[in-house]
Chain A
């Protein structure tokens, strides 16, 4: 079964806080932890893909006008969560997906303290719903 692990860390109201205010040392430790996690998941053949996204200030909402042309907007509700990055893993059970999510959750933050951030875990659909 394929599962997606989503890091929804950034809120519109928190822009400019979070990771950008960290020391270089803390950032490097965080990045090294994430790279090691990706390497371990590659070695165990559980990693399908992983991506990191740009900061929320780059995000746009796009919808089609009646003639199909794009209308763009950069304003999001205050409660909006922004996806910071995700992993797709192929594992036999949800418990294994949760264990991997817990590892990502424990990535080091300021002063090397584990962030223990929430990671959203959902199955990927192999085909459209019936």
Chain B
């Protein structure tokens, strides 16, 4: 079963991340690199990506003639995806355990941020929606 682990962050979270000390950032990056390496070695990692800053985010919709209409204004409450992991594991409990590991990634001062990670099953096709 494939699950996606999503790290979401508000604009305020992103702004404070930008102000972390160099050491704190380096510790966080080292943790994430090691985490990815462990998931690879455990044979569960399918894919992982980190996303660019929300300042570069646009929302796009098609006009009536199909051309793109872009906008860069998001509601205050908007959570931006910071990055995700797709893992292939036996059951949801294993996915939750892996999510807890990344939830404990070090934050400012090296303390575990214990940030919430959203976990959802990934579909292998439209048939899985059981519509």
Chain A residues packing against B (C-beta within 8 Å) = 4-6, 19-20, 22, 27, 31, 34-35, 49, 51-56, 58-66, 68-73, 77, 79-81, 83, 88, 94, 98-99, 101-103, 105-106, 114, 116-125, 128-129
Please determine whether B120 and A4 come into contact, CB atoms closer than 8 angstroms.
no
Please determine whether B117 and A63 come into contact, CB atoms closer than 8 angstroms.
yes
**Known A-B contacts A102-B61, A105-B62, A121-B59; A19 and B81 likewise in contact (beta carbons under 8 Å):** no
Please determine whether A83 and B100 come into contact, CB atoms closer than 8 angstroms.
no
Chain B residues packing against A (C-beta within 8 Å) = 4-6, 25, 29, 32, 47, 49-54, 56-64, 66-70, 75, 77-81, 86, 92, 96-97, 99-101, 103-104, 112, 114-123, 125-126, 128-129, 131
**Known A-B contacts A88-B49, A99-B68, A119-B59; A62 and B79 likewise in contact (beta carbons under 8 Å):** no
Please determine whether A61 and B58 come into contact, CB atoms closer than 8 angstroms.
no
Q: How many residue pairs between the two chains, A and B, have CB atoms under 8 Å in the bound complex?
A: 172
- Distance, CA A20 to CA B131, complexed state (A): 6
Q: B104 — which chain A residues lie within 8 A by C-beta?
A: 64, 68
- The secondary structure that dominates the A interface is mixed
- Distance, CA A31 to CA B128, complexed state (A): 12
- Distance, CA A31 to CA B131, complexed state (A): 11
The 6 closest A-B pairs by CB, nearest first: A70-B100, A102-B68, A123-B52, A62-B99, A101-B60, A106-B62
**Known A-B contacts A59-B120, A62-B100, A128-B29; A98 and B60 likewise in contact (beta carbons under 8 Å):** yes
Would you give the shortest CB distance from B118 to chain A, in whole angstroms?
Answer: 6
